[in-house]
Structure 1
Amino acid sequence: MKHLKTLLPLAFAATLLPGAAIAQLAPGPKVVIQAVTQATPTLPQYTRVDQPILRDGLAKASNGRIEVVLSTWPERNVSGPEVLRLVRSGQIDISTSPLTTVSGDVPILDGIDLAGLSTDIHKARRIADGMMPLANKELQRLGIKLVATFPFTAQMFYCRKPINSLNDLKGLRIRTNGPSTSDLLKGIGAQPVSIAFGEVYTALERGTLDCSVSGASAGSSANWAEVSSHLYSLPLSWSVAGYFVNLAWWEKLDPGVRALMEKTFADVQNAQWALGLEANTDGIACNVGRNADCKIHKPVRKPMVENKPQAEAIQTVHQQLTESVLPGWFKRCGDKCLAAYKEVIAPVTGIPYTPR
């Protein structure tokens, strides 16, 4: 992971070069793969990575032997938890979903992207890489394999009033994106609220929510700048997601086909992590009216004011990680997650944990 900040953009660029595809696959029977990835067809994760690398790259590298029939959730009329069930049943071969969305059955997945764990995307990548073998040990019993991870953008606060510190969030009603975020907000005295993403705009507009936690990219795309005035750009987590495959299908693939797909998923993973970094900077710029730096998303009509976090906010987040978030995760997940934190995660974060 040395020099990751430099390598991520380079990796992303390399995967998009025409000659960077992959070694050619030997002739053989045609392989048709059903893949359902991403929540909307306009996401850059879909248009900039899944289509050119997963779909088109595999077709080119295999001389047409591999055909990926690629769809998004709405095109197949499914949502996050459902796509994983479809993979498990063998109705589709590949899917993506945010890890927190599918962690109910596999709580160890939450440990890859706990609120307060990684305010830095490069540490988030190292944690995801380190946790993948442990996650797959748990997923194996469901007949599923995690073959790649990727972030969306930093989860931050869209608020109806200025937020200059975490103290300003006390007592506020804040929409959360998962159990660990709820635990962290409770720890600082806020009131976590669980409502669907599509209902947030109206709730902010009417004032039934004071703030909502979501990505710099997602909030921009959902036009939350129209109903919230201040962006408190403290990264709580990165909405890390995964590419999942049906394990029985994966293991039955021709070895050459599987090797080519492993290489492709490595390229996809590198490209997605690089895009996460780029889209995060872009999403903030678009939300706050820095239109010259807004190139992936659309500029908002009513720019927000960015309230940047101070150093003490990061310290408070780390304190809440150990006091509120980790105990909640260990309660949901058990001793194996305590061991995973000590052996895999803590060496990356540098934040120790001692059970009380």
Structure 2
Amino acid sequence: MKRLIIIMSVALLVVTMAVPAFAGKVVLKLGHIAEPVHPYGQGAEKFAELVKEKSGGEIVVKVFPSSQLGGQKDLIEGLIYGTIDMALVGTAVLGQFQPQISLFDMPFLFQDREHTYKSLDTVGMDLGKPLEPKGIKLLGYMENGVRHLTNNVREVKTPADMADLKIRVMTNKIYIEMMKSLGASPTPMAFGELYSAMQQGTVDGQENPSAHIWTKRFFEVQKYASKTAHSYAPEPLVMSMISWGRLDGKQRQILMEAAKEAIDWQRALSTQKDDEYWKLIEATGKIKVIEVDRTLFAKATRPVYEKFASVVGQDNIDKVNALKK
């Protein structure tokens, strides 16, 4: 907590100071933790391609995938200090800097993808504005995907089957409480440590979208996958306010336009790939894929709303619910 206070204090000081503009060609470093083949890894490359095209080569975005620039907390701190220009990071981590953006980590929040995108592009953009004084500019939301459960111990068809399972979660209070409400034992752990932790039995399982289950090859060290679809994982495209402040109006417009186009493209790709990944996962024969009654899991996680409505804002929950068909 002390470290977080120091970081945010430095951020407030930095963003209120004038910073020199980029000289000549603008080169921006963009980091993320996914494999390059992951849909949002491909989205990052698409964004870089669009920026180069729209700027006539004046702005170059260099993408650093697979945690080359560090984990998600490292990326966010890099944005605040200006050592990293751009990043794709999860709302679960951004929520440590802007608690209300953790709204999108709540279980069973969205009706379908159309409802998800409407919510992110309206309520979500409003919730990104308080990040700016803290050193972070939100350009929009790409997609990590719909999160599901895997484990090594037993078939999980109902919440009762989750009793005492050690499930790796992000260091995020909502995810911790979500797993507790389902009867599991949540184990916060860095993403980069997860494969070996499952391999060695340090944890029994994890929860992630199909894209990570496939591209990180989690199916090799897990026996069961339950399609719980318990939460949706946006992947915000964010920028250092220091770097943003060094751009002129035209350059900023180029980035915003490229971000919108890349996000639309990436969301369509992610939706298409989700079905493909599940087919590939099942075809390995290494992991049993199980359909579940999601209403049982949704009912079990209602206490998460009672506990966190005041954190994410009941008014924000109401705004998202109002966008349902």
How much identity, in percent, do the aligned residues show? 16
In the aligned structure 2, how far is the partner of 1:248 from the partner of 1:202? Answer: 37
Question: What letter matches 1:123 in structure 2?
Answer: H
In the aligned structure 1, how far is the partner of 2:233 from the partner of 2:143? Answer: 6
Q: CA deviation at 1:235?
A: 0.7
1:341 has 2:317 as partner:
yes
Q: CA deviation at 1:47?
A: 5.3
1:214 counterpart SS class:
strand
Give the 3 Å change call, closer, same or farther, for CA 328–349 of structure 1 in structure 2.
farther
Q: CA deviation at 1:213?
A: 1.2
Question: What letter matches 1:257 in structure 2?
Answer: Q
- Which runs of 5 or more structure 1 residues have no equivalent in the other structure? 1-28, 290-299, 351-356
Q: CA deviation at 1:346?
A: 2.0
What does 1:56-71 correspond to in 2, within 5 Å? Answer: 56-71=49-64
Q: Structure 1, residues 89-118: CA drift from partner, whole Å, max 9, x if none?
A: 222322221110221121111112322223
What residue is the counterpart of 2:143 in the other structure? 151
In the aligned structure 1, how far is the partner of 2:202 from the partner of 2:101? Answer: 31
What residue is the counterpart of 1:109 in the other structure? 101
Question: What letter matches 1:237 in structure 2?
Answer: S
2:236 counterpart SS class:
strand
In the aligned structure 1, how far is the partner of 2:168 from the partner of 2:161? Answer: 15
In the aligned structure 1, how far is the partner of 2:78 from the partner of 2:200? Answer: 37
Give the 3 Å change call, closer, same or farther, for CA 348–167 of structure 1 in structure 2.
farther
8 Å contact 2:163–2:184 — kept in the other structure? yes
Q: CA deviation at 1:83?
A: 1.4
1:253 counterpart SS class:
coil
What does 1:79-158 correspond to in 2, within 5 Å? Answer: 79-118=71-110, 120-158=112-150
8 Å contact 1:155–1:214 — kept in the other structure? yes
In the aligned structure 1, how far is the partner of 2:191 from the partner of 2:242? Answer: 34
What residue is the counterpart of 1:170 in the other structure? 163
1:219 has 2:213 as partner:
yes
8 Å contact 1:119–1:235 — kept in the other structure? no
Q: CA deviation at 1:207?
A: 4.0
Q: 2:286 aligns with which of 287, 290, 303?
A: 303
8 Å contact 2:47–2:262 — kept in the other structure? yes
What does 1:1-356 correspond to in 2, within 5 Å? Answer: 30-45=24-39, 48-51=42-45, 53-72=46-65, 74-76=67-69, 78-118=70-110, 120-160=112-152, 161-177=154-170, 178-251=172-245, 253-289=247-283, 300=284, 302-310=285-293, 313=294, 315-321=295-301, 323-330=302-309, 333=311, 337-342=313-318, 344-348=319-323
- Which runs of 5 or more structure 2 residues have no equivalent in the other structure? 1-22
8 Å contact 2:182–2:297 — kept in the other structure? no
In the aligned structure 2, how far is the partner of 1:286 from the partner of 1:146? Answer: 34
1:256 counterpart SS class:
helix
1:209 counterpart SS class:
coil
Question: What letter matches 1:125 in structure 2?
Answer: Y
In the aligned structure 2, how far is the partner of 1:201 from the partner of 1:59? Answer: 35
8 Å contact 1:110–1:329 — kept in the other structure? no
Q: CA deviation at 1:129?
A: 1.5
In the aligned structure 2, how far is the partner of 1:114 from the partner of 1:184? Answer: 8
In the aligned structure 2, how far is the partner of 1:56 from the partner of 1:218? Answer: 24
In the aligned structure 2, how far is the partner of 1:57 from the partner of 1:190? Answer: 43
1:57 counterpart SS class:
helix
1:152 counterpart SS class:
strand
Question: What letter matches 1:68 in structure 2?
Answer: V
In the aligned structure 1, how far is the partner of 2:74 from the partner of 2:108? Answer: 28
Give the 3 Å change call, closer, same or farther, for CA 91–265 of structure 1 in structure 2.
same
In the aligned structure 1, how far is the partner of 2:213 from the partner of 2:305? Answer: 27
1:239 counterpart SS class:
strand
Question: What letter matches 1:306 in structure 2?
Answer: V
In the aligned structure 1, how far is the partner of 2:84 from the partner of 2:56? Answer: 23
Matched residue pairs, number?
302
Question: What letter matches 2:180 in structure 1?
Answer: K
Q: Structure 1, residues 139-170: CA drift from partner, whole Å, max 9, x if none?
A: 12203211110111221111222222222112
Which structure has more strand as a fraction of its residues? 2
In the aligned structure 1, how far is the partner of 2:204 from the partner of 2:111? Answer: 23
Q: CA deviation at 1:265?
A: 0.5
1:163 counterpart SS class:
coil
* TM-score normalized with structure 2 length: 0.83
Structure 1 vs Structure 2 CA RMSD: 2.5
Question: What letter matches 1:61 in structure 2?
Answer: K
In the aligned structure 2, how far is the partner of 1:220 from the partner of 1:340? Answer: 33
